[in-house]
Amino acid sequence: MKQVICINWGTKYGPPYINRLYGMVARNITPPFRFVCFCDDSTGIRPEVETQPLPEIDYEIPQTKTGIWPKSRLWGARLGDLSGPVLFLDLDMVVTGSLDGFFDYGDPEDVILSRNPSNPLERLGQTSVFRFPVGKLLPLQEKFRADPLGVAESYRYEQRFVTRNAPGGVKLFPRGWVVHFRRHCRRITPLNYLLPPKLPARAKIVIFPGHLTPGDAIAGRYGPRRADSVAGHLKLLFDRRRRRGGPITHLRHFIRPAPWVADHWRE
């Protein structure tokens, strides 16, 4: 039984993202499978999704300038009624190919992360997509519980903490399976003004760390409140108050609409 999990708290994402993620998983996985969402509110979530309460914790999630740590709820000895390997997926991603390989790769007892392209000189995993056996990451939760704010400030990002502290170390999924939209799909300047973002041939999942969302990619805008036309974007080049960064940075921060994102990112 393939087991896919996600987590949702608050109102940033909610049912539309959960329902789309289920649809993408169901179209790209060989049954049988379970899809479980750990959440604080199941209202509006499609019936095919199994909803379970957020795993209980006995510590406060730290508030920091960088890093998001509620995923530490998943590191406990128990995870709802699940056991064995589970594949975690962030809600704001696009599934573009078969997920079967994510369950076959490595050993069932391995902790396997996607590759983080943002730090090429550091062997760093990305927990937007990662597989782990239920209960194996308990030592991480215990270490985090002892000093949540200290751990968060020291490691900055939860994925760095997992990469460096997972029992037995971590493995990484094959290069090219999980791609970063900004780093692997958008075109270099000036091609970003002429061509839509590309979908790499080997990509099975496209992740959207940072401010860009799948909705932005579909609309062809580089984040919320950004221009969605070439003319509008170039006009802001001469407006220091409204543009972000210098002229070169501003020119790079433009994308044309990506129809392939809309083709995949749907229920």
- List, for residues 238-247, the tens digit of each pLDDT value: 888 778 788 8
- As a whole number of angstroms, the distance between CA 9 and CA 18 comes to 11
Pick 120 or 226 by higher pLDDT: 226
Does the predicted model carry a pTM greater than 0.85? yes
Q: What does the mean pLDDT of the chain come to?
A: 94
- As a whole number of angstroms, the distance between CA 41 and CA 11 comes to 10
- List, for residues 9-34, the tens digit of each pLDDT value: 999 999 999 999 999 999 999 999 99
- List, for residues 27-80, the tens digit of each pLDDT value: 999 999 999 999 999 999 999 999 999 999 999 999 887 778 999 999 999 999
Full 3-state SS string of 110-149 = CCEEEECCCCCCCCCEEEEEEEEECCCCHHHHHHHHHCHH
Domain layout of the chain by residue ranges: 2-172, 178-264
- List, for residues 215-234, the tens digit of each pLDDT value: 999 999 988 778 889 998 88
Range 2-172 classified under CATH 3.90.550.10: yes
